Amino acid sequence: MKSDSSFKESAAHSPRLTRHQQAVLDLLHQQTDALPAQELYSLLRQRQAIGLATVYRALETLKLRGLIKSRMGANGEAFYSLVVSDQHYLTCLQCGQSFPLDPCPVQELETHLQPSVPFKIYYHTLEFFGLCEPCVQSID
Amino acid sequence: MKSDSSFKESAAHSPRLTRHQQAVLDLLHQQTDALPAQELYSLLRQRQAIGLATVYRALETLKLRGLIKSRMGANGEAFYSLVVSDQHYLTCLQCGQSFPLDPCPVQELETHLQPSVPFKIYYHTLEFFGLCEPCVQSID
DNA sequence: TAAGCGAATGATAATCATTCTCATTATACT
DNA sequence: AGTATAATGAGAATGATTATCATTCGCTTA
Ligand SMILES: [Mn+2]
Ligand SMILES: [Mn+2]
Ligand SMILES: [Zn+2]
Ligand SMILES: [Zn+2]
């Protein structure tokens, strides 16, 4: 059998992913950082014909299935990544720079929390905000 | 002396808050939940003349001073609240409903983290996403 | 107190990510 | 193949936020 670079979903009752939904998911598998929808759209267009609305709809579908997640950036754009990725940041309110933080400090918490709530948890967001060293000084 | 319902800022080097900035801060002191800028604008207008742009600028100023914080809602609108408030939610990806979660599970973590990073932490965001009980079933 | 000046304000236009519309096309099933 | 259903794409619409820019405010100084 020949190798298959796509990542198939094995969910029991969910309908199969469409070609475009699969393409979006595959693309996210190749990324190390979360990307905005518009950026994913540009990257996808380099390889195939696809509409922007379709990208947004695919992202919505994948998110409802618990395969990907999104975090809202400061300027109202959403950044998408795989649910399995688990990266958090310190973000400067002044210059906007983000500094990665690892490991995830709430992974264990989520595991403990899940059994105690009537809610199926897919993922979490966690971010710290403040001022980076250079910006703290430039405020004076 | 007569009582003063406003909340004065005692920062050492920061310029005094303007009348409108103070009004925004006072209004946030009266809220139990985070509110979007547009909503704060409506509430403020009931008591005084003020421009929408001024509300946004006041919120930005107050945030840079570490007095208030904001979290981005799913639809791209920011919700503002006092930094001292510390409330997190479980949010359903399907119906959008939010369920409060207390106490804050990372307050202690933030305290431990602060000394180990070259960054002045003002506040954090933490949110869990997934499906609420009714929505889990309606998915099938 | 009057003049001067930089910051703050407000009305409005511009921006821009996201969502909506609807006609067209692909897919699943008989 | 023929029909029902879902997906797609082009472009318009939406709506929160930001940028403009002329005016006003607050404060210092003569
Ligand atoms: Mn995490
Ligand atoms: Mn908290
Ligand atoms: Zn910074
Ligand atoms: Zn729900």
pLDDT for B87-128, tens place per residue?
A: 999 999 988 889 999 899 999 999 999 999 999 999 999 999
Residues of B in contact with A69 (CB under 8 A): 129
Q: Which residues of B touch A102 (CB under 8 A)?
A: none
Query: How many angstroms does the Cα of residue B97 sit away from the middle of ligand 4?
Result: 6
B42 contacts: CB under 8 Å, gap ≥ 6: none
Tokens in use for A11?
């969910």
Please state which architecture CATH assigns to domain A4-139: Orthogonal Bundle (1.10)
Domain locations in chain A as residue ranges: 4-139
CB B135 within 8 A of CB A121: no
Helix (H) or strand (E) holding B119: strand B119-132
Confidence of residue B80 (pLDDT cuts 50, 70, 90): very high
A118/B128 CB distance under 8 A: no
Comparing CA positions, the residue from B66, B65, B67, B75 lying closest to residue B28 is B67
- Which residue in the block uniquely carries the two structure tokens 């199926």? A120
pTM here? 0.90
Q: Residues A2-56: pLDDT tens digits?
A: 344 556 544 446 779 999 999 999 999 999 999 999 999 999 999 999 999 999 9
Q: Note whether B72 and A72 are within 8 A (CB).
A: yes
pLDDT digits (tens, 9 = 90+) for B31-57: 999 999 999 999 999 999 999 999 999
pLDDT tens readout for residues A63-120:
999 999 999 998 889 999 999 999 999 999 988 889 999 899 999 999 999 999 999 9
The set of residues, in sequence order, having a beta carbon less than 8 Å from that of B123 and lying 6+ positions away, is A128, A129, A130, B66, B69, B83
Residues of A with CB under 8 A from a CB of B: 13, 63-64, 66, 69, 72-74, 76, 78, 90, 92-94, 99, 101, 105-106, 109-110, 113, 117-133, 136, 139-140
Return d(Cα A45, Cα A57) in angstroms, integer. 16
